Amino acid sequence: MEQGKAPAGRIRFGAFEADLRAGELRKKGAKLKLQEQPFQILRVLLANPGEVVTREELRARIWPIDTFVDFDHGLYTAITKLREALRDSSEKPRFIETLSRRGYRFIARVERVPASSNPPTSIAILPFVFLSDVDEPRSLSLGFADALITVLGNLPDVAVLPTSAVLNYPGGTDPGGVCRDLGVRHILQGHIQKLGEQWRVSIQLFDAVVQKIVFSDKYDFTTENTFEIQDEIGRRLVESLHNQFPFAVRKSRDRYSSNPQAYDEFISGLRESYSDRPESAKSAIEHLSRAVAYDPAFALSHATLSYVCMNLHFTFDAHRTWLERAEHHGKRALALDPDLPEGHFARAYSLWSPAKNFQHAEAIEALEKVLTLQPNLERAHNRLGTILLHIGRLKEAHAAYEQGQRSNPKNLLSHNINFVHLYSGDFARAQEGADAWLQESPGNKYALWFRPQPALLTGDLDLADQRLAEAVSQLADEPLVVSLQGLLHARRHQTDLARQCARRALDFPRSFGHTHHTYYQIACVYAVLGETQKAMAWLESSVDTGFTCWPFFRLDPHLESLHQKPEFKRLVAGLEHEFSALKIERL
């Protein structure tokens, strides 16, 4: 963007979009309330991204000389309101940086939105709320939402938040506020109540653009025809969004189990499956195991059980029992239903794991099958992006993550996009993303591990030390962090400490699925120390266990001592030949 020139049209930054002609600020499509003066400040800052805008400039542009107000108070108030709208912080700014006694600077990346770029219709379907106490299991609450999310997830021009995004959302009395908070244009809220032997479900579809309810209805049903009511609501909802109903979408009765006990256990297991805690994963496994015991032909529960077992094995517990259970239930799911998207996703998850030696091509093929069957499955897009990232197909990885974001407008992009920037050599953008990641997810293991890396790669060792210290304070025994600490010691010529960290990183059983990154960082330690034979051996171990990002190998300054070695050139050339030729159908 030309510096100093007043921008026009729409400007995008982070999760936000400013329509400078209309004077509107939106977050993921939902309009935010912002007064005129804060918006005018935003307009000036967007005209000068990365540049200091002085207090005097803001006074001249926004507060005319004949305006009799307390300028300092007015500016402070307007900046505060702008930061509140952006959920920004003066202490840890993501967008607006304060320069004491001078002015302000817009520090995030900005991009002009093409005039033809129209965001898809977006919607969140919240778990339905019971209006009265009932003795029956409350699986209908999440069950209705999950069924409708599945229907809308097949529409090409509707972005629907996945079940994981709304699972624990508390809702609210202000539908416009809910839309802003979730970053969607529409929300569907439903209420369930018991009427004698029957149930009644009431639904309301709210549109944040026109600020009103655009569709509402009531349906009476019994437990025997719950699935038919879900299908009917889905049909009416699609029609209200001015869409043609996807007749290829399977009926709810075919997707779920008609056994009420199996259905209740499945919904309970589904809820637990979205947590990133090992105890929740084990609880999910218990519920899902009971579901398939009640209904051995419940394919979706077999598939979900397979995924959860494999995720537990990949992330937390390398015990072979979880792998065996994952494979058993994954095969059972596809035997029962060869066209079940979740069944193919579970298979892909198993194929791309240490237990299966990271079968990149086969896992990609399985994920493409998933996305053929259900184009908007966020997990599949993000998993595909992660595999492409690891094999050096960085542009395609970026595209896959972007498609995953379209499937879940609540998240601007998967935080894994930061690795795309890092491995592409865009260290400044990687650092920007790292700061935002940790701010949004304090204490996240991967955010803490990632954040020092851009500084290490650019040689800012003091900053890397500061950020690595934060990671060590919370993850002292994490191999990813310990090996990275060894790399910092190597950069500072602290040879003994570097070697100690490299050895210690191998003593811990954690990060089972990410061991290849530990091996890679150990390779970097020895390469920086000049022990090229050891470095090459550990680099080959990293490749053998799944990390084959050959473009990054070529540009990583920590591997500089290897770059001219014939064996390094042969390794990288072989990886480039193998993975550049791999055809990706959906990107």
The pLDDT assigned to 198 comes to 87
In this model, does residue 28 exceed pLDDT 80?
no
Cα separation, 444 vs 226, in Å, equals 39
The pLDDT assigned to 4 comes to 44
The pLDDT assigned to 243 comes to 60
Count of other CB atoms within 10 angstroms of residue 247:
6
Give CATH for domain 10-113. Answer: 1.10.10.10
Segment 251-260 shows an average pLDDT of 87
In this model, does residue 118 exceed pLDDT 70?
no
Cα separation, 481 vs 458, in Å, equals 18
- For the chain, the domains span 10-113, 121-246, 260-387, 426-580
In this model, does residue 94 exceed pLDDT 90?
no
Cα separation, 433 vs 427, in Å, equals 10
In this model, does residue 216 exceed pLDDT 80?
yes
The pLDDT assigned to 5 comes to 47
> Domain 426-580 classified CATH 3.20.20.140?
no
Distances (CA, A) of 340 to 5, 344, 375: 53, 7, 13
H/E stretch holding 300 reads helix 299-315
Cα separation, 382 vs 389, in Å, equals 10
In sequence order, the 6+-apart residues with CB closer than 8 A to the CB of 514 are 480
Segment 174-182 shows an average pLDDT of 84
At residue 528 the predicted structure's pLDDT band, cuts being 50, 70 and 90, is very high
Q: What angle do CA 387, 393, 395 make, to 5 degrees?
A: 115
Average pLDDT, the chain: 88
At residue 6 the predicted structure's pLDDT band, cuts being 50, 70 and 90, is very low
The pLDDT assigned to 475 comes to 93
Cα separation, 298 vs 519, in Å, equals 41
Task: Tell me if 10-113 shares its fold with 426-580.
Answer: no
> Domain 260-387 classified CATH 3.40.630.10?
no
Looking at residue 147, the DSSP 8-state letter turns out to be H
Tens digits of per-residue pLDDT, 364-374? 999 999 998 88
This model's pTM is above 0.75: yes
At residue 24 the predicted structure's pLDDT band, cuts being 50, 70 and 90, is confident
Count of other CB atoms within 10 angstroms of residue 319:
11
Determine contact, residues 41/79, Cβ cutoff 8 Å.
yes
Of 140, 266, 252, the closest CA to residue 193 belongs to 140
Look at residue 130 and give its three-state secondary structure.
strand
Take residue 355 and report the two structure tokens written for it: 């237990």
In this model, does residue 226 exceed pLDDT 80?
yes
The fold of the 121-246 domain, in CATH, is Rossmann fold (3.40.50)
Tens digits of per-residue pLDDT, 139-166? 888 999 999 998 887 777 788 888 888 8
Cα separation, 139 vs 260, in Å, equals 10
In this model, does residue 72 exceed pLDDT 80?
no
Pairing type for strands 103-106 and 52-54 reads antiparallel
Cα separation, 471 vs 491, in Å, equals 18
At residue 276 the predicted structure's pLDDT band, cuts being 50, 70 and 90, is confident
